Chains A and B, each alone.
Chain A
Amino acid sequence: MLTIKNLHVSVDGKPILNGIDLNINAGEVHAIMGPNGSGKSTLANVLAGREHYQVTAGSVAYKGLDLLDMEPEIRAREGVFLAFQYPVEIPGVTNLYLLKASVNAIRKHNHVDELNAVEFLKLIKEKVALVEMHEDFLYRPINEGFSGGEKKRNEILQMLLLQPTLSILDETDSGLDIDALKIVAKGVNTVRGDARAMLVVTHYQRLLDYIVPDVVHVLHNGAIVRSGDKSLALELEREGYGWIEARAAAQP
């Protein structure tokens, strides 16, 4: 579903991703771990189409399409979803208003009839119940004044509503208490399926107890330095990232 080849990315002339190769098949969940500043969010944002980043080499194919050639909104409409590490506060626009605009933009793109207000409300209320949010949050400005955990839950609400083909979760577990983590994981697991894939960025193997990954990658200095099954996450939890530094130092 997603094939990243030799992806190089810089910001303001500074190289951040240095040749990423990654292949995710339909039905798979991949986890990306790695120290702060290693480039995890950069990768997530480049996949979602953030313009600030310059792709200097490499390619990304998504469902056979050239992902890097698509506008961010087209990616979203084609089923790419990024749950932001830092969801943006937008005063003056209610959650509900955005969600309806979003659902209908995607439906229109896919030649499906747009939902009217009643149909939409019914749908969104189901999803709100799934993430155990209070319905009041629908009528509040997007993320404004939400706690860290509430923002993350709001991202998952959007994911549940949009039913993306490729979900990229950037540290959605950070800042969640244990109950919230379970709720979020439950939500995430409902969108798993044979036709869907997921890229989960996290610092904690704890999340992976609930969202069990098929593959775990370690990102360091903008490159994937190791991949393995879910036991790799346990190893990282035990040993930290020191061994990567050591290996990097040992290499000429």
Chain B
Amino acid sequence: MVSEPAHSLITVERLTRHYRMGPQIVHALDDVSVTVRPGEFVAVMGPSGSGKSTFMNLLGCLDRPDSGRYWLDGQEVAGLSSDALAAVRNRSIGFVFQSFNLLPRQSALDNVMLPMVYAGVSHAQRIERALAALDAVGLLERAGHRPTQLSGGQQQRVAIARALVNDPLLLLADEPTGALDTATSLEIIGLFQRLNRRGITIVLVTHEPEVARFASRVLHFRDGRLIDDLSQDAEVAA
């Protein structure tokens, strides 16, 4: 029996996820084992179809593995009910998506408050915490704007504020700069780095080496397998 190592935030053991496509079985994720300690900033890289998103969805408790085990902050996730998984996604994890996924008819403030709706936070506290989160991403003065009134970079900052607002242990970002130009990408990655310095653990998928440079560790996937796990001296954002 594998036991969960001390002082790790994420431990996955022989994690496997496959899809049956007719007679063929696609090994989207194949026997992946990895440990992430609190405070790490991990970049996940690999060619298209290598299983990065599959891996992130499993870490984010949006999907269940076919085999293997997963501990998040010392708790084994496999046994949890669907409601308990929802609570984990709500309190322990923050998600950032490539396409932002903001509700278009709601203000930045309302979008940031959304996770607290499901956390049972009082209305007064919601506003206070959402404003603090918007402040942390440098968008306090845009709180009343709708997504359509914001640039791509600003929209992604709102999405990051939303991911942070319930004070999660872990921030998961699947190609958060994929829809942004280079300059804006660097701004966003700088923001991630500052948040990481303040203690939050980050796992971030990217295709761009210039984004991955800011991480302290890079995981390389190919054909559903983890083929490389490198620690590096992170470049410091301007």
Q: Do A and B come from one complex?
A: no
A residues near B (Cβ < 8 Å) are none
